[in-house]
Chains A and B, each alone.
With several copies, the nearest count.
Chain A
């Protein structure tokens, strides 16, 4: 996690923020279980098969989905393929550097990918064209262009939107069709500051927090993926509390992004 431009968060700021939390409010006035304002704009890159532009507070990401045919993995000859890559572009933050993904980007991409994959959002069997020979490959690529915390949830929102509205031609001569979609996973990332658990952290909150937990769930109330990060710990009760928060907040987000689903 990057330090802010002036180095680490100043001790004065930290004291102020923690003091404020005692009143149940965060620095920007949000409640603990409240997301920042967000918009998820569909079809930002019209030539991609699916795309979305997400603004989550001051965090901005572009999600692009390319769907091409290719070979399946040898051990899953009748399943389509999905890959997820997150580029923390140097334009997004003063200390981000160009180059191959670092461990932060890799973790983010893998957590986001796991949420989508384990939910079985896309029905991979339906992406098989000729078993062992030809399947559809869904390339999900994400550009992080402006960074103010909580990349994971911004990415997941954008992917769910982009996949949901993606259109592609399995046969170049044939009609455009939608991806076979099973459900709509939403990740909710929470951090712990002192003993408080709050969702959708800003960068400053990420810097102040001791531990992070992402819980991805689907509309059926099932947990699909979890990931704890950072040096601190959670009690088991805190984790259960976080799962409840994820379910409740995630349902709101899902409806916000997709409208009445199905």
Chain B
């Protein structure tokens, strides 16, 4: 969480800098089949985030010692384009992206029927073309759709959202300014059907009451976001029925 600042993130009516109310999501747009080589793909635009996800697999895990004889190994690779952030980022993984790749891989593993494909790997390549707070849960939300788009059997969808604290208030889906200058950030991803938590990270400063309030907001929001996932996939199938475009 950032340093104190003079930025006023909430006005007297509880309205946020970008005009949203405390429980309001930024606009989300989600499409599948954006790439041709990949076995499955999706692009999500969530606020200013613009993220492309490609899925390859299941294919033989390589190198061999990474194979799991009981299940497929999900290897997510979260990568930020050099031009995705305000100051040009040097290409290649940094410690942050290594950590995010790991927690995304773990969350997706909870949803995929990995036991069906022993000794294989499923690659989930995530490219953040433009970053605007909440990239990890936007990535997860799109990755889940890209996996479905690749025809990989899943027991459930992973869907994510963040809450945070700004000026002492718990608010949904932090914007970049709120992420930079707020007091807490709590990204969570859940299984859509069961509501079980498959990713949770938090930093900042939350009382137990604030945590509980935030978790309720997330549960409500993820249900709405899951609808967007379903629509994205059904639009694809609609197109297929009509032998449609693209």
Contacts and interface: CB of A to CB of B under 8 A. Distances in A.
B219 interface: yes
B52 interface: yes
B93 to A, nearest CB: 8
Given A66-B83, A223-B202, A228 B197 contact: yes
Given A222-B207, A226-B202, A90 B77 contact: yes
Nearest to A226: B202
Nearest to B197: A234
A145 B102 contact: no
Contacts of B219: 236
Contacts, number: 178
A225 to B, nearest CB: 5
Interface stretch (A33-41, A98-106, A248-256): A98-106
Given A141-B82, A233-B197, A47 B130 contact: yes
Interface in B94-122: 95-96, 98-99, 101-103, 106, 109-110
B203 interface: yes
B64 interface: no
B200 A213 contact: yes
Interface of A: 44-48, 51, 58, 60, 62, 64-66, 68, 76, 79, 85, 87, 89-94, 98, 100-101, 103, 106-107, 109-110, 114, 117-118, 139, 141, 143, 145-148, 213, 221-236, 239-240, 243-244, 247
21 contacts: A44-B129, A45-B84, A45-B129, A66-B88, A89-B125, A94-B56, A103-B101, A107-B98, A117-B203, A118-B1, A143-B81, A145-B54, A146-B37, A221-B207, A223-B202, A224-B205, A226-B201, A228-B199, A231-B106, A235-B195, A235-B196
Given A64-B129, A118-B204, A232-B110, 5 more contacts: A94-B59, A213-B200, A227-B103, A227-B201, A239-B215
